[in-house]
Amino acid sequence: MSRTLDHLLDQNVAWADSRTRADPHYFLRMSEVQRPAYLWIGCSDSRVTANDVLGLDPGEVFVHRNIANIVHTSDLNILSVLEYAVEHLKVEHIIVCGHYGCGGVERALVAERSAMLDHWLQPFTMLYRKHRDVIDAIADAGRRLDRMCEINVEMQVRRVAATPIIEKAWMRGQALNLHGWIYAVHDGLLRDLGPHLSSIAERDALPTIDARVLAPAEPPATMKRRQALEAFARVGLESELAACCVCDPSQHGVSP
């Protein structure tokens, strides 16, 4: 293989050309000041890219990624991203998004140790060790890993919410909402895990992450399934109302 990456540069030219042909003003708009409404805190996994997953163009989402979407409250990188996104870009939503089958989360569950990677994962590793009996009791290895990926998202949302940057924004009345999501590589769909936080009071009312580890959990529904259930619920309500309208009015205290 060549030491240069001319094939990628060629693909860039083709991409820029196709964008310009489809929308002559595309790059003019991109050159303007970015005003994204969303900050995405996700995993560095090459299969999970925020703009593609969300169906958004460049400029619509501010992105921070690291191994296993961990939020270290002493990490100057993520704190700088948070501060810039909240105080300068004025994002309205912060999405912490993990994914099923996360290699970083899987690493936190094994005994092997290394210098840098395991230092990075240590807060989550310690949570696993604290509740190892409960977690290891999940017989299916795949479901065990998936459950830990879900717990990791919830843990990191709490850690974001505990930063002075977020507290300060809420205290000054800034509209800022935190969300916990998880992505499934096998079907390309996002699941809404929660929690959803918009204030210090909501954050402080949350159960502890230890309580969430111990709580039984069903796999979260995709947005498609949630929307379908809501639609069926509305249809059911409409059917009940229709039945009520054709029944004997006297049964409801109404004179015929």
Query: Catalytic site residues?
Result: 43, 45, 47, 99, 102
Range 137-146, long-range pairs (CB < 8 A, 24+ positions): 144/109, 145/100, 145/101, 145/102, 145/105, 145/106, 145/109, 146/100, 146/101, 146/219
Rounded CA gap, 235 and 30, in Å? 43
Distance between CA 15 and CA 136 in Å, rounded? 47
Q: Centre a 10 Å sphere on the Cβ of residue 254 and count the other Cβ atoms it contains.
A: 8
Within a 10 A sphere around the Cβ of 85, how many other Cβ atoms?
22
Q: Hey, how many other C-beta atoms are within 10 angstroms of the C-beta on 68?
A: 25
Closest CA to 68 of 128, 28, 21, 25: 128
